[in-house]
Structure 1
């Protein structure tokens, strides 16, 4: 493959692989439960579609009411 063919092939390869890259959607989760862990901090739990997201904050902080996460979208 000469240099000009390589220059033409690179954009085609990128265009062919673009549909395979993971796309993400932004989801806002609301606080489901929190637990005081004393000096270890507070455990914050957010539930979405049967899965939990956990965050730990300092003992003197409160859990955020919402949490924004990115979730991969599924393409058929």
Structure 2
């Protein structure tokens, strides 16, 4: 029996656990992007314009300068699940 056989087995085991951890991390923590259309906008005069985007019961807000228009659509990161 070679004195290095235990070291090689340990290296293979560590490599396997590293690959397993990487697979679990990427599948659990990976995000998807979702496009949300403009739901409502409100003109605030000199304060600018509030752009409201609603997705799954939650509102995303963006404020734009006076005279600018709201983007017709935004992209957000959503958790897979």
Q: Which TM-score tier does this pair reach, normalised by the shorter chain?
A: 0.7 to 0.9
Output the aligned Cα RMSD: 2.1
Q: Which has more helix, going by share of residues?
A: 2
Are 2:18 and 1:14 aligned?
A: yes
Alignment partner of 1:57 out of 64, 67, 80: 64
Scaled by the length of structure 2, the TM-score of the pair is 0.71
Q: Which has more strand, going by share of residues?
A: 1
Gaps of 5+ in 1: none
* Count of matched residue positions in the alignment of Structure 1 and Structure 2: 71
**Structure 1 CA distance, aligned partners of 2:60 and 2:18?**
34
Alignment partner of 1:38 out of 24, 37, 45: 45
Alignment partner of 2:36 out of 19, 26, 29: 29
Deviation at 1:16, TM superposition (A): 2.3
If you compute each CA radius of gyration, which structure gives the higher value, 1 or 2? 2
**Structure 2 CA distance, aligned partners of 1:61 and 1:14?**
49
Q: Secondary structure of the residue that 1:34 maps to in structure 2?
A: strand
